[in-house]
Structure 1
Amino acid sequence: MSLNSPRLYLASQSPRRAELLAQIGVDFERLSVDTDETVLAGEAPETYVQRVANTKAQAGLALVQQQGLNPLPVLGADTAVIIAGQIMGKPRDRDHALDMLRQLSGKTHQVISAICLCGQQYQHVALNITEVSFREIAAAELEQYWHSGEPLGKAGAYAIQGLGAVFVEKIYGSYSAVVGLPLLETQQLLQKIEQMASNE
């Protein structure tokens, strides 16, 4: 963590998102928020990730107000893996994880990431859609990957920044978005609110 004053609050306990923010030199403090990430009936993937990112940011903003914290912007983010139009969540168990990975094997899927940066007087949302192509994955590799422990807690049952990288044949879009935070869009929103502040 930088000794500089934080520029924002990150409404996430994800170590990956924290690492990505630090990578681009953003000073931040983390907020622990608890939000319902259940997909609503008939909800489109893009709508879902934007709604969840917004819910996290708004929960963080409410926490800032309740605790009387310094009124900085709050960043919420959500990432979902999509195959054939269906949202893949986090695996419940071994069988669920292996089923997800079999569906991804040899195919191209989408990773949709949304961010929401909000304050008392504004709310800005950005969306990133990245395509990821997997090579064919052998059954023995799937078992080995499961036993590594990495699929647990990961959308789509894989981590591109970890062992799951060996399954990736091609990526078209943003690597950081697949990890969990689209850095280009994050920087653009930060610049937007800083410009708004300078114009006031």
Structure 2
Amino acid sequence: MEKKFWSVQRLAVFGLMSALVFASSWMQIPIGDVSRVHLGNGFCALTGLLFGPWVGGLASGMGSMLFDFTNPLYIAESWITFLTKFFIGFVAGLIARKGMGKSPAAQRAWDIAAAVAGTLTYVVLYLGKSFIMMYFIERQTLGAVQVQLVTKLLSSLINAGAGVLLAVILAGALRPALKRAGLFRKQLLC
């Protein structure tokens, strides 16, 4: 009998983690009109660390895209947000899987590497998208684009650092409880 990817447990985990990404994206500090610091990226990385690349990526993208639906400034680019945020959870999940079954210290090292790689992948994608939008589509001058990109880079690096810290701490705290509850099994870590 063929196993379905979307089991009831995996669907529940996907929904819960999408909701956590959505809600944590509201925990923010705006930086002018160009950027914001928020906790959403940390929950994107956490989802990948705990539940693997596919659930991590899809929940990260969905929760972030739903956040964009709540703001008229972001809604037009919500599909781009889905794709770029997907890669936080996907990359983090792909790398974190290599630490499964290792000692807690080794798992923590893999978690750190995974969260850093996931969040930095997003930073590169986000800055690339921002450059294309501002320079080629909005036709802003190169100087204006560079100034905005510096602001976006700084806030993105703050988001990445806070996200790594949040994801690694919460992953270490939640993994034992998820194992005891039977929610941290190979079947869910795809």
TM-score, normalised to structure 2, is 0.30
* Structure of higher RCO (CA pairs closer than 8 Å, 6+ residues apart): 2
Q: Greater helix percent: which structure?
A: 2
Using structure 1 for the length normalisation, give the TM-score. 0.29
